[in-house]
Amino acid sequence: MILPKIRDSRFITIRRGGTLADKDHYLLAIWAAQCAEHVLHYFENERPGDERPRKAIELARAWSREEISLTESKKGAYDSNAAARELAGAPKFAALSAGQAAVVAHVAAHELGAAAYAIKAVMAAGEESEKSENGRKECEWQRDQLPEKIKELVMDDQKNRNEICWNVFQA
């Protein structure tokens, strides 16, 4: 579970009583999609021809452009998570990252799930002695991709939820 018991109002849209503007919600989805796409090759190398995680990432981006509905993006998350079920390690985490990216449309705070699963994928793909360093590098790469408009929000979220996200944001 990567969501806190008490939701941070900064990740709840204004129309639902929070403070998150739609433009920032879209930026969170785009960033989550970037994180997931960065590790997608782990899944695709294991399951060539299974396009469900790639489709989930595309749906996250399409939602952020207001081309599809929330329901369509959520369906992509469901399908990507189903693709992960029979797998383990890096391929599984990559598919889960894509699923989290697609469901940012529903709950903005899933942005951190996409990032955390991507870091877990990189760590799982490496040798035991390299896991921490690989995870740190992936975390830094992700942070470098953050748009300035949401950077402080996401960095604060990483501090607040690091423990429930397997402590992968300690970089």
pLDDT in tens, 62-87: 999 999 999 999 999 999 999 999 99
Distance CA 97, CA 57 (A): 9
Q: What pLDDT is recorded for position 5?
A: 86
User: Which candidate, 108, 103, 100, places its Cα nearest to that of 21?
Assistant: 108
| pLDDT at residue 171 is higher than 70 | no
> What are 20's strand-pairing partners?
13
**pLDDT value of residue 45:** 98
CA separation for the pair 112, 114 (Å, rounded): 5
Averaged pLDDT, 81-105:
98
pTM (two decimals): 0.96
